[in-house]
């Protein structure tokens, strides 16, 4: 019998630690954390993952201090720190 907890990663989204299953994208982690949008536009409009394949660029977040990373194309790993500029 396998240990289910071994398949979980702990990530931090806007200062809150959550658990996600191994293989989850950062966009999924944002949804699990209840983050309404990943960023706001220059004019303040909310933006969130739209296409799910990296074309629209609407899901850009800061991961481990690196800005403009696509949340829909990035897999979570244990200890990841995700920051958004959108609604929390």
Residue-wise pLDDT tens digits, 21-68: 999 999 999 999 999 888 888 898 888 888 989 999 999 999 999 999
CA 36 to chain centre: 11
Tell me whether residue 72 is exposed, middle or buried, using C-beta atoms within 10 angstroms of its C-beta: 0 to 12, 13 to 18, 19 or more. Answer: buried
**CA 46, CA 16: separation in Å to the nearest integer?**
20
- Enumerate the β-bridge partners of residue 16: 13
Residue 40: per-residue pLDDT: 87
Mean pLDDT of 11-27: 96
Lowest mean pLDDT among 3-7, 22-26, 71-75: 3-7
All structural domains of the chain, each given as residue ranges with its CATH number in brackets, are: 4-79 (3.10.20.30)
pTM summary value: 0.87
Question: Would the pLDDT of 87 be above 70?
Answer: no
Query: CA–CA distance from 27 to each of 1, 2, 18, 68, 73 (Å)?
Result: 30, 27, 13, 13, 8
Average pLDDT along the chain: 90
């Amino acid at each position: 019998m396998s240990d289910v907890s071994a398949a979980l990663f702990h990530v931090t989204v806007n200062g809150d630690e959550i658990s996600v299953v191994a293989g989850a994208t950062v966009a999924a982690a944002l949804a699990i954390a209840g983050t309404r949008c990943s960023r706001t536009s220059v004019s303040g409009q909310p933006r969130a993952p739209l296409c799910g394949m990296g074309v629209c660029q609407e899901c850009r977040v800061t991961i481990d201090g690196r800005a403009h990373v696509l949340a829909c194309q990035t897999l979570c790993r244990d200890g990841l720190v995700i920051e958004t500029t959108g609604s929390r």
